[in-house]
Amino acid sequence: MRFLTPPVHDLTYNDVFMVPNRSAVTSRHDVDLTSTDGAATPLPLVVANMTAVSGRRMAETVARRGAVAIIPQDLPTDVVGEAIARVKGADVVFDTPVRVSPHTTVGETLSLIPKRSHGLAVVVEDSRPVGVVRPGAAAGSDRFTQAHEVMGTDLVTVPTSTTPREIFELLTSSHQDVAVAVDDDGRLVGVMTPRGALRAGLYTPATDPSGRLQVGVAVGINGDVAGRAERLLDAGADLLVVDTAHGHQEKMLSALAAVTAVRDARAERRVPVVAGNVVTAEGTRDLAAAGADIVKVGVGPGAMCTTRMQTGVGRPQFSAVLECAEAARAEGRAVWADGGVKHPRDIALALAAGAGSVMIGSWFAGTHESTGDLLTDASGRSYKESFGMASARAVRNRTKDSSGYERARAALFEEGISSSRMYLDPDRPGVEDLLDFITSGVRSSCTYAGARDLTEFAELAVVGVQSSSGYEEGRPVHSSW
């Protein structure tokens, strides 16, 4: 990447823009978005280890499209083990349906449907699909009505060998909204909508060496770090993220050394170890020297963060990523740009600055697949509640086994928001809708730069510094002025 004019101060994503280059890349479909962080996932996107965002539903959904989610450090190791098992057991092609029995009440069925984006539940008897409940058909029924009384039985069932393209054509020609995939014994495997069929043809899943979906897990720096890392690797974690607010501290360096020692003792597979957060070249070099394969960059840019207001510490994220990526590259390592992403352009700019992948939290909190329950405000808009991992709420959670005195002491140090509303975008309510939005934007950024992949993009991008009115000029206008 090069600057049009060298900047005189540190920059945020909003402070910068890219200019187009002469390009020989004539189609956005020709761009390869494989991450350049060594983990080499098909998409350079990571879901942040935040309790309100990243769980097994999020993990399997994004992995099917090529990204990876990190399960938060605050969950007990056995619970994380179960989440990993569920992700590893999920089908790589077909979406996991909401399953109910014929006797599940309509009330329960309607509360489960928003947990996935398909907008329906499959009614299953002896593992075989017997019907589908759609909210429209159940509307007006008593909440204690049973699923079999309101289900539709006009199922489009397909064998798992059917290709996504065949499913797309079958569904669009028959004006149906979902295909139900069954195995040779007629047991339910998964579902596919026309949009899902299109995506299955466009995206490559992020898989482990056994062909199962990938998932990462975070580890804190306190307690039995090596023991947790050992159990997470046993459970099948594909990435370990050693995570704390102040990553450039000695406790982090020893935790990181413990985790990499556990990882290196295993001959069968070298799982990447990520560590952070830092915002300086020196911090990056120290984490690389302590064994990090990938360094996580960002102090204070996150939507749930109060760190900069509380402490004055942090750094504008574009400059932090640029400096840390350069330092990491010199050590043969990579960085993840963590936090502060609100638009596809921010991801493109982080990748232009040299990030191997980009971590997103709050934006994905407002989707069907995040962990929280779907709520509705007084005006009828759907939202999910989110909170920061250093908020009083998260600290209370994390310290629930400590003494009252220790809990009260820990609660003094909150650095995050305990409650926020992340509204679902009516046009993009599912995380896959956001992945479509992001990847189409980033593919286009690459072709404007003349880059076929993200290595070329980080080399070729030409970045300028803009005023706030420059940024404002680029925002769409939805009504007249």
Ligand X SMILES: Nc1nc2c(ncn2[C@@H]2O[C@H](COP(=O)(O)O)[C@@H](O)[C@H]2O)c(=O)[nH]1
Ligand Y SMILES: NC(=O)C1=CN([C@@H]2O[C@H](COP(=O)(O)OP(=O)(O)OC[C@H]3O[C@@H](n4cnc5c(N)ncnc54)[C@H](OP(=O)(O)O)[C@@H]3O)[C@@H](O)[C@H]2O)C=CC1
SS3 state of residue 131: strand
Extract the tokens encoding 132: 């589908």
Site membership for ligand X, residue 216 (CB under 6 A): no
84 binds, options ligand Y, ligand X, none, Cβ within 5 to 8 A by partner type: none
Give the per-residue contact string, 359-398, with ligand X (x = CB under 6 A; - = no): xxxxx------------------------xxxx-------
* C-beta separation of 316 from 7 below 8 A: no
Q: Which stretch binds ligand X (CB under 6 A): 256-264, 286-294, 300-308, 345-353?
A: 300-308
**According to CB under 6 A, which residues from 301 to 320 bind ligand X?**
302-305, 307
Query: Cβ closer to ligand X: 81 or 300?
Result: 300
362 binds, options ligand X, ligand Y, none, Cβ within 5 to 8 A by partner type: ligand X
Q: Minimal distance in Å, beta carbon 457 to ligand X?
A: 21
Confirm or deny that 247 is annotated as ligand binding.
no
* C-beta separation of 333 from 276 below 8 A: no
Pairing of strands 382-386, 375-376: antiparallel
Site membership for ligand Y, residue 415 (CB under 6 A): yes
* C-beta separation of 217 from 71 below 8 A: yes
246 binds, options ligand X, ligand Y, none, Cβ within 5 to 8 A by partner type: ligand Y
Burial class for 246, CB neighbours closer than 10 Å (0-12, 13-18, 19+):
middle
**Residue among 336, 44, 85 at smallest CA distance from 206:** 44
Q: Minimal distance in Å, beta carbon 304 to ligand Y?
A: 9
Confirm or deny that 244 is annotated as ligand binding.
yes
**According to CB under 6 A, which residues from 104 to 133 bind ligand Y?**
none
Indicate which single residue of 16, 25, 50, 451 sits in contact with ligand X (rule: CB under 6 A): 50
Site membership for ligand X, residue 48 (CB under 6 A): yes
In the set 93, 178, 305, 341, the catalytic residue is 305
Q: Minimal distance in Å, beta carbon 295 to ligand X?
A: 13
What are the DSSP calls for 376-394, one per residue? E-TTS-EEEEE--TTBHHH
* C-beta separation of 11 from 463 below 8 A: no
Query: Cβ closer to ligand X: 176 or 397?
Result: 397
Indicate which single residue of 416, 420, 429, 430 sits in contact with ligand X (rule: CB under 6 A): 416
Residues 195, 201, 203, 205, CA torsion sign: positive
* C-beta separation of 172 from 136 below 8 A: no
Give the per-residue SS3 of 55-115: CHHHHHHHHHCCCEEEECCCCCHHHHHHHHHHHHHCCCCCECCEEECCCCEHHHHHHHHHH
Let me know if 305 is a catalytic residue. yes
* C-beta separation of 328 from 288 below 8 A: yes
361 binds, options ligand Y, ligand X, none, Cβ within 5 to 8 A by partner type: ligand X
* C-beta separation of 454 from 34 below 8 A: yes
341 binds, options ligand Y, ligand X, none, Cβ within 5 to 8 A by partner type: ligand X
Query: Cβ closer to ligand Y: 104 or 386?
Result: 386
Confirm or deny that 243 is annotated as ligand binding.
yes
Indicate which single residue of 190, 339, 344, 372 sits in contact with ligand Y (rule: CB under 6 A): 339
Q: Tell me the CA distances in angstroms from 228 to 52, 69, 138, 258, one per residue in order.
A: 22, 18, 45, 10
- For the annotated binding site for NADP(+), the residues are 243-245, 298-300
Could you give the residue numbers annotated as active site?
A: 305
- For the annotated binding site for NAD(+), the residues are 243-245, 298-300
- For the annotated binding site for K(+), the residues are 300, 302, 305
